[in-house]
Amino acid sequence: MSTSQKAIFITGASSGFGRDMAETLIAAGHKVFAGIRDVGGRNRSAADALTAKGIVVLDLDVTNDSSVSEAVKKLLSRSSKLDVVINNAGVASAGVSEGFTASNCVTFSR
């Protein structure tokens, strides 16, 4: 990895802005890791398309702490560094955001 090449992790990369960013950044010469939920199921074609472009796809559900930990562990096993995180994954909630913790957050993304 050259000194100008960044290791970039993008959550919510199966479609929309996340996928566009992943494709743009890999084309610019960066090492891109794409966090996608359900890569073996409904998002398989997106995962395959990104992989074909050289993007490392990580199975990631941002609403599940163990999924996040596992994805980061896999990322760090493939890269000696992580320069940028783009948290693009959408999670919906109702209420004052300061009152939410990982243990009491209810999501509507499933």
- 18 belongs to a structural domain: yes
> Taking Cα atoms as reference points, which of 52, 40, 39 lies closest to residue 12?
39
Binned at pLDDT 50, 70 and 90, residue 90 comes out as confident
Is the pLDDT at 64 greater than 70? The verdict is yes
Measured at the CA of 20, the angle between CA 18 and CA 22, to 5 degrees, comes to 70
- 87 belongs to a structural domain: yes
Which comes out higher in pLDDT, residue 63 or 72? 72
- 76 belongs to a structural domain: yes
What is the reported pLDDT for 9? 97
- 91 belongs to a structural domain: yes
**Residue in the block written with tokens 């997106």:** 46
DSSP H helices, 1-110, are 16-27, 44-52, 65-78
Is the pLDDT at 104 greater than 90? The verdict is no
Please classify residue 30 by burial: count the beta carbons closer than 10 Å to its beta carbon, then call 0-12 exposed, 13-18 middle and 19+ buried.
Answer: buried
- 110 belongs to a structural domain: no
What is the reported pLDDT for 107? 47
How far is it, in rounded angstroms, from Cα 40 to Cα 99?
Answer: 34
Number of domains in the chain: 1
User: Percent of the chain at pLDDT above 70?
Assistant: 83
- Which range marks the domain in which residue 41 is found? 7-99
- 107 belongs to a structural domain: no
- 60 belongs to a structural domain: yes
Question: What CATH number should be reported for the domain holding residue 12?
Answer: 3.40.50.720
Tens of pLDDT, residues 3-17: 689 999 999 999 999
Tens of pLDDT, residues 24-43: 999 999 999 999 999 999 99
How far is it, in rounded angstroms, from Cα 89 to Cα 4?
Answer: 26
